[in-house]
Structure 1
Amino acid sequence: MAVSVILAHPRPGSFNHALAGVVCETLADLGVEVWFHDLCAEGFEALLPAAEIPRDAPLPPLIASHCREAAAAEGFVIVHPNWWGMPPAVLVGWVDRVMRPGLAYEFLEGDGGEGVPRGLLAARAAVVLNTSNTAAQREREVFGDPLERIWKDCVFGLCGVADVRRRMFETLVTSSSGQRRGWLEEASALTAAAFGPA
């Protein structure tokens, strides 16, 4: 089994980096092959060029490599902060450029793109770990928890991944070192539950 771990945080040493690190360690301890990408460190270009939009477009080598991994991955772990109720731009760009028609989803014969696509990803599960400075209750009651809808319904659900587990760690800015240690343990346990032996 191989799991794609995607980190989107620009500051080395962030708690998001710590989360990604414990996820990778947990997966390795389970004997799972890890495909790790720190999008900011890699300089992933978020902008989707018009030339890449067609289904059969030739892709730059880096994007083609990400696409091959996404198609083959048996699981995903996405780690990012909550910025304006959205993932950071670099991660939105990763979705735009990698979750392509013909790879992540397709429309059925006779559907010109107006219907509901069929998901194509082989992944059995996805885990999304977010950090936030907004309290969970406010996120739900005031904003409607948009990250839950984005990842569960608009990305992974649409692309055929039914088992989507998400945990938001909050409130990061006021958290203690003890809380953060506990959150890292929780992230490890969530990862093991999603990708460990059935």
Structure 2
Amino acid sequence: MRVSVILGHPEPGSFNFAIAEAAVEALTQNGHGVSFHDLYAERFDPILPGPEIPKGAALDPAIKSHCDEIAAADGIVIVHPNWWGQPPAILKGWVDRVIRPGVAYEFVEGDGGEGVPVGLLRARCALVFNTSNTPEEREREAFGDPLETLWKRCIFGLCGVNDVRRRTFSVVVTSTPEERRGWLAEVRETVGARFPAES
């Protein structure tokens, strides 16, 4: 299988980076082809220019490469912190520029864009790993878990990926080394279960 791993965190030594590394390690050990993108390290440009919006628009070669890769992926792993109930801007910009019409979704003939799109992504499973410094109970009571809606219903659900699993690790800022080791073991186990070794 081909699996894309997308990381959106500005610090190379962050726990998010460790999560992404653990995911890549588990995928590689199971024999899968992995494309790993650290968006900050790559200096991914998140700004969507107007001429790039329409389906079939000419794309910057770097963006086209991302589009081709995500269209061909059998699985997707997203890693990012919870910032104000959202992904960091660089990752939102990746969604804006890569999860685009003709690549991830399209509208049926006669639909000018007001209807429900038809998903085009071939990936059948997506994993989203988040970190947070808000206790899970407070997050759900106060905010209703907007990241669950964003990734499961607003993005992947509309692009044809029906099996979306999300896990938030919190509270990271007060976590112990033992807790973090346990969380990374859980990442490896989750990734291994969703993307088992190919026979």
TM range (shorter): over 0.9
**1:141: how far off?**
0.9
Deviations 1:76-117 (A, max 9, x none): 000000000000000000000000111100111111111111
Q: What corresponds to 1:173 in structure 2?
A: 173
In the other structure, the counterpart of 1:63 is 63
Amino acid paired to 1:162: N
Partners in 1 of 2:62 and 2:106 — Cα distance? Answer: 23
Cross-structure match for 2:79: 79
Q: Which runs of 4+ in 1 moved over 2 A?
A: none
1:152 maps to what in 2? 152
- Unaligned 5+ residue runs, structure 1? none
Question: Residue in 2 aligned with 1:161?
Answer: 161
- Give, as a single letter, the amino acid of the residue that structure 1 aligns with 2:77: V
Which amino acid is the alignment partner of residue 64 of structure 2?
A
Equivalent positions of 1:134-145 (< 5 A) are 134-145=134-145
Q: Which residue of 2 aligns with 1:90?
A: 90
SS of the residue corresponding to residue 192 of structure 1 reads helix
Deviations 1:140-197 (A, max 9, x none): 1110100000000011001000000000000001100000000000011111111115
**Alignment RMSD, CA only?**
0.9
What CA distance in whole angstroms lies between the structure 2 residues aligned with 1:31 and 1:65? 23
SS at match of 1:121: coil
CA shift for structure 1 position 12 = 1.1
Match of 1:183?
Answer: 183
Normalising by structure 2, what TM-score? 0.98
Q: CA deviation at 1:39?
A: 0.1
Q: Is the 8 A contact 2:23 2:188 kept in 1?
A: yes
Alignment match, 1:101: 101
Letter in 2 for 1:190: T
Query: How far has the Cα of 1:63 moved from its partner?
Result: 0.1
Aligned to 2:118: 118
What is the alpha-carbon distance in structure 2 between the residues aligned to residue 134 and residue 159 of structure 1? 30
The TM-score, its normalising length taken from structure 1, stands at 0.98
Gaps of 5+ in 2: none
1:44 aligns with 44
- Distance in 2 separating the partners of 1:126 and 1:195: 10
1:2 and 2:2 aligned = yes
Q: State the one-letter code of the partner of 2:91.
A: L
Q: How many residues align?
A: 198
Shift of 1:54: 1.1
Between the aligned partners of 1:140 and 1:192, the Cα distance in structure 2 is: 28
